[in-house]
Chains A and B, each alone.
Chain A
């Protein structure tokens, strides 16, 4: 194994693949590190279609979308280290990475790093469900892996908690394979997944969606036998006296995703409290020079196409970093009214800002809102959106070449 690279990409999912492709095309010597036996990340188990509408103008399944990038990685001759886990990473002059795989423990050195570790699912522990600890409680992604990769049906009759997209997709998938999906329960007063998934995954199969209701307790010794569901108030607290028992042999949780950032934290990199990923500039460079972040470890995306765009930005930026451009000069991007989160949170005004890409998530569902970007009260951009949904992030490219100081972004 080679021990010196220009750029090491951690993660071989869509973000890592796109990052590596761009960095290699630019001329860097690149290594992709992937902990699984094959490239593709979570796309491998997302067998439904709808991927690639923005990037390719067609509806692909997850494995088909990944395949296109994997073919390109092979064409470019990018080094890939599979079944390999990054144990440690530290910065001296360059970056030192400690890896473990079949060959044992190895150290490699890289001039730059692209973080592309993806995200994790929230588990039952994190949503405070009481009761016994029977088999039959799965995260949606785990159930998806069992059905679509391992060919194992995890349930005959299930309840789904949370209306995230993966939960909705799994409601349909399990129904198709003969499982009875009793219902999808969502504590909030509106579904958190895309409207189209409510339509094609639930309505198409007459699966009921129960809003403002949550699962509060599980019953069963060896295997789940039933769950208790309760209505909740506006503050999401269960209302006494609304207890209902629903019999089922599986509870599937689709209660949110959290960016995976153990390595980011190991490097002492600043994490944004809103995205739960690294704070980055317009080149997706973290607050530690030479470390870039892309995809769901940076902020959870609803479209893989946006994840790939992240990767392309990070890959090109890694090239610019290795071939020493000017030092960074950072200004702030202030998250104003109407926004839940924004990426990037900083701008490097010593870099090309003519096509600055923002990924914005609103703090609510809105109609007829204006996205306004200002510097010192001077308007730089104003764009009207007929519909703004919290479940669907806004991607916008803006020319900010003339920006000198902090900017502010609002939806009003």
Chain B
């Protein structure tokens, strides 16, 4: 049996998953899906920043465009920290495609380079 807090929404339900993967404590379907995923293959969205060459905007926020395996978090951060953005990218533009072969892109989440 495992117990943890649901991170799908701010309600933060207290989830309990028994040895037969039966979920209790959730108040919605998404909570049940999250609980099973957390047992089988925990995933997270990652947000970080990426260096740029522009003095007024030394770093810009970026994120994974979908969840990646939890165990890859620090490897993904390492890859993001290798990059320096030298183009005026727009919000949603891809900074690193298919990071670490995960089929996940690192995208920029701001418009601060545009104007």
Residues of A within 8 A of B (CB): 38, 44, 47-50, 53, 59, 61-64, 67, 70, 147-151, 176-177, 194-196, 198-200, 203-204, 302-303, 386-387, 389, 392
The CA of A66 and the CA of B52, in the complex, are separated in Å by 21
Question: Which of B12, B74, B112 interacts with A199 by CB under 8 Å?
Answer: B12
Question: Which of A49, A151, A198 interacts with B59 by CB under 8 Å?
Answer: A151
In the complex, the number of residue pairs spanning A and B with C-beta atoms less than 8 Å apart equals: 87
The CA of A148 and the CA of B63, in the complex, are separated in Å by 13
Tell me the smallest distance from the CB of A59 to a CB of chain B, in Å.
Answer: 7
B64-75, CB under 8 A of A: which get 1 and which 0? 000000100110
The CA of A47 and the CA of B64, in the complex, are separated in Å by 12
Question: Which residue of chain B has its CB nearest to the CB of A386?
Answer: B27
Question: Which of B10, B49, B63, B77 interacts with A49 by CB under 8 Å?
Answer: B63
Most buried by A among B8, B44, B61: B61
Chain A residues within an 8 Å CB radius of B111:
63, 67, 70
The CA of A62 and the CA of B111, in the complex, are separated in Å by 12
B1-32, CB under 8 A of A: which get 1 and which 0? 00011111111111000000000000100000
The CA of A177 and the CA of B59, in the complex, are separated in Å by 13
Question: Which of B7, B58, B61 interacts with A200 by CB under 8 Å?
Answer: B7
Residues of B within 8 A of A (CB): 4-14, 27, 44-49, 51, 58-59, 61, 63, 70, 73-74, 77, 91, 109-112
Question: Which of B27, B45, B58, B63 interacts with A150 by CB under 8 Å?
Answer: B58
Establish whether residues B6 and A196, one from each chain, have CB atoms under 8 Å apart when the complex forms: yes
The CA of A63 and the CA of B110, in the complex, are separated in Å by 6
Establish whether residues B49 and A151, one from each chain, have CB atoms under 8 Å apart when the complex forms: yes
Establish whether residues A49 and B45, one from each chain, have CB atoms under 8 Å apart when the complex forms: yes
The CA of A198 and the CA of B45, in the complex, are separated in Å by 16
Question: Which of A38, A47, A64, A303 interacts with B48 by CB under 8 Å?
Answer: A47
The 27 sampled A-B contact pairs (Cβ below 8 Å) are A47-B61, A47-B63, A48-B47, A49-B63, A53-B9, A59-B45, A61-B61, A61-B63, A61-B109, A62-B61, A63-B61, A63-B91, A147-B49, A148-B59, A150-B59, A151-B51, A151-B59, A176-B46, A176-B73, A176-B74, A194-B12, A196-B10, A199-B5, A200-B44, A204-B70, A387-B13, A389-B12
Chain A residues within an 8 Å CB radius of B12:
194-196, 199, 389, 392
Given A196-B7, A196-B10, A199-B12, the answer on whether A148 and B51 have CB atoms closer than 8 Å is: no
The CA of A150 and the CA of B4, in the complex, are separated in Å by 35
The CA of A76 and the CA of B77, in the complex, are separated in Å by 38
The CA of A251 and the CA of B49, in the complex, are separated in Å by 22
The CA of A386 and the CA of B25, in the complex, are separated in Å by 11
Tell me the smallest distance from the CB of A156 to a CB of chain B, in Å.
Answer: 16
